[in-house]
Structure 1
């Protein structure tokens, strides 16, 4: 590779951040976020097809929908440790391959058991992408813009979700319903899964053109390679400085990163920074956001919307989510992480309470159809979308930003492994329980519970979360 290609051709390059190269890296890495979103959202709109094909009841639907979360928890836990062994990029490549296999197998599933297996495989990819993409981005970007670039991950997650919603809507509309026959005689819901193979393949191929994380390379003793990557990113002088900084940050621990590093050796207790990470990860799910993402169509049909209108409502939520994430990208490195989390918690508590009130007024007509009287249907729709906006302007992207940057270098992989595992376990608990809770005690009580957790998250952030805006990764302490 020439000096020009490495960005080392002259002295002026030494202090120049290569924004184009960084943007290209972030663009590729965040395809993992797109796949995370697409794989999570594709299930929304396929549930009638699954129920018909596999003769599923409410519990069966919950298990089939929630199967991805089992894989995601395992993938998130394993990926953090795996990334410390084989590298961030190689772990993302493995996730891309898992996405591809899952898409093909889920669409072709001949039984509920095969479908569950396919979704667990996809979940392994989702879990891996959810924790590795943010940490990779945080390790290759300048501190001054790290928050906004890491926030792109959430934009891509929502873009993936919205892409799945749009694809599902288009397929169902064109075929005449999600269970109607489509191309080659297969029902539309199967094509909803098969279409996912296209972005999965693009992700896998694109990963071959980005470099490994320089912090991983230094940890593995490959300092010259790390220096080459850092030179391309920041110029030669900054690369010289950063290699020394990374080396020094790892020097206090002369062993390979391991889970036991999460225990403070002087006190014998779990490091407080890990509790903060676990809390952020769990509260992000306890506010119920993935009920909207996984069960949006079912939720709106339950209160009287048609399938077609329910799928359109999903798309609206997705578009508003992207807009909210763009706001976060513009402000997270100015306002800071903690203020955004506090604003989001307060906003979600209020809007979820309004959704709960609207659902409490639901009535069942003589023909068994459910509806919300007066203007309460509008109140539910507006409040639910405001809730989505508050989430995606705060907890959605900021939680991933913080998990990617808050841990010291030595424990970053392990901290992400445990926090990511906790996040997906909480996700599974909320998502799998929703179909039953929607029946008893009902939507109003269920959403009141989500509002309660949103309120509690405000006090958690205020007491236990420290600001990380503008701090170098090598300065993080835990």
Structure 2
């Protein structure tokens, strides 16, 4: 289907799945305060309701990679949009905990699919010189979705059955995504891989005004030639460094504690001495901080590079987490402690927003070869959501048991993540996806030569 669309409209609508990802994962942080009392949930039940979306996300992420490699990025995102619509309406109309958990799992299928698909779709559309910024649109939309969720939570915090509106309003952007994807093009790299070169050339003409379209097309064709696909290729020696890096990025992004802030910030603020209404208001500050940080990351990622931003973020996040624990030890459960905690949470989330938030998803969309990009992204997304599930499910119980000492553990994990990035990560800025792929081939070839 050929439509002449402005390239920036394509990028923005392509990233809209990220907004739904952000809204549906962020909205529960405020809604759970009211769901807990309405449905009489204990700590474990609270963790199940919050984390049930992550069970679906793991399944959705696992399935989406293979589906997108076979049927295309665009069609698979459209399927995710339909599931978003069903999950949003079902969650808002749930009559008991069991129904809510089921619809949160359904919603998770779409969230997991979007997390795996949108970064790949954007990275395959964007030119190499500003691929970091354009791919970061995904994270920008995620954070915008989280901020919208926080604002909606605040707006309905004093309404009867307000949590139903909080959850159900996700239907509106879901429907917009579904309609918008009808008019967006397929990834040119997926089209070349599936021998639809004329369509790929047309899509590149929409996205690359004044550039060497034929040269880029030939480069894509050369990297596709003779490559295998599937699990055997993903675990082959030359792809293994990319898989190790991708799994490490996916794992550490969660175990440095980011989603404990996004899911449970109001709960922590209430425990620190704030009322529920003030706690929800505090999350808006967190949302603004991470949105500003993401904008800064989009501006700097193609100048400073991915690796440097990750290292800077690790340092700032770990220091912020240590200070959260110190503030709780010195001030206890007081108003000053509560507001200090909010400031430090904003500091933590700011450093996350300039580094591990956008850079993880940008790099995951870059490092895998075209032949297994969807599959590799699916594997890393499953690891990411599985880690997310473990953290979300256990955090309420661990917080009851250890208090703010828990944040010290996350800080130490941040130090380990720093060392992983320093010694295992590659720099991808300024390189085409094909050049990154050739680089992995060359590294393996050099190893073989040394062995000989």
Shorter-chain TM-score range: over 0.9
Q: Structure 1 residue 195: deviation in Å? A: 1.1
Aligned ranges for residues 46-445 of structure 1 at < 5 Å? 46-173=31-158, 175=159, 181=160, 187-235=161-209, 238-253=212-227, 255=228, 257-264=229-236, 271-361=240-330, 363=332, 371-372=333-334, 375-442=336-403, 444-445=404-405
Q: Structure 1 residue 260: deviation in Å? A: 2.0
Aligned equivalents of 1:441 and 1:131: distance in 2?
34
Q: Secondary structure at the match of 2:156?
A: helix
Where does structure 1 lack aligned partners over 5 or more consecutive residues? Answer: 7-19, 176-180, 182-186, 364-370
Cα contact 1:324–1:390 (8 A) shared by 2: yes
Cα contact 2:273–2:338 (8 A) shared by 1: no
Query: Which residue in the other structure is 2:443 paired with?
Result: none
Cα contact 1:361–1:372 (8 A) shared by 2: no
- Selected match of 2:407 from 437, 441, 447: 447
Cα contact 1:231–1:238 (8 A) shared by 2: no
**Higher deviation after alignment, 225-234 or 468-477:** 225-234
Query: Which residue in the other structure is 2:450 paired with?
Result: none
Query: Which residue in the other structure is 2:6 paired with?
Result: 21
Cα contact 2:234–2:240 (8 A) shared by 1: yes
Q: Secondary structure at the match of 1:44?
A: helix
Deviations 1:47-90 (A, max 9, x none): 13322333221100100110001111111121111110111011
Q: Secondary structure at the match of 2:365?
A: helix
Q: Structure 1 residue 265: deviation in Å? A: 5.8
Query: Which residue in the other structure is 1:367 paired with?
Result: none
Cα contact 2:132–2:429 (8 A) shared by 1: yes
Q: Does residue 473 of the first structure (1) align with residue 433 of the second (2)?
A: yes
Aligned equivalents of 1:119 and 1:212: distance in 2?
29
When residues 391 and 217 of structure 1 are mapped into structure 2, their CA distance, relative to the original with a 3 A threshold, is same
Aligned equivalents of 1:105 and 1:311: distance in 2?
24
The structure with the largest alpha-carbon Rg is: 1
Aligned equivalents of 1:391 and 1:462: distance in 2?
17
- Selected match of 1:462 from 403, 422, 425: 422
- Provide runs of 4+ in structure 1 moved above 6 Å: none
When residues 287 and 237 of structure 1 are mapped into structure 2, their CA distance, relative to the original with a 3 A threshold, is closer
Cα contact 1:65–1:432 (8 A) shared by 2: yes
**Higher deviation after alignment, 329-338 or 77-86:** 77-86
Q: Secondary structure at the match of 2:30?
A: coil
Cα contact 1:217–1:225 (8 A) shared by 2: yes
How many aligned residue pairs are there? 438
**Higher deviation after alignment, 257-266 or 397-406:** 257-266
| TM-score, scaled to structure 2 | 0.93
Cα contact 2:18–2:114 (8 A) shared by 1: yes
Query: Which residue in the other structure is 1:13 paired with?
Result: none
Q: Secondary structure at the match of 2:157?
A: helix
Where does structure 2 lack aligned partners over 5 or more consecutive residues? Answer: 441-452
Q: Structure 1 residue 362: deviation in Å? A: 5.8
Aligned residues: CA RMSD: 1.7
Q: Structure 1 residue 157: deviation in Å? A: 0.6
Cα contact 1:69–1:428 (8 A) shared by 2: yes
Query: Which residue in the other structure is 2:445 paired with?
Result: none
Deviations 1:305-356 (A, max 9, x none): 1111111110010011110001011110000000000000011111111012
Cα contact 2:191–2:199 (8 A) shared by 1: yes
Aligned equivalents of 2:255 and 2:77: distance in 1?
27
Aligned equivalents of 1:86 and 1:425: distance in 2?
25
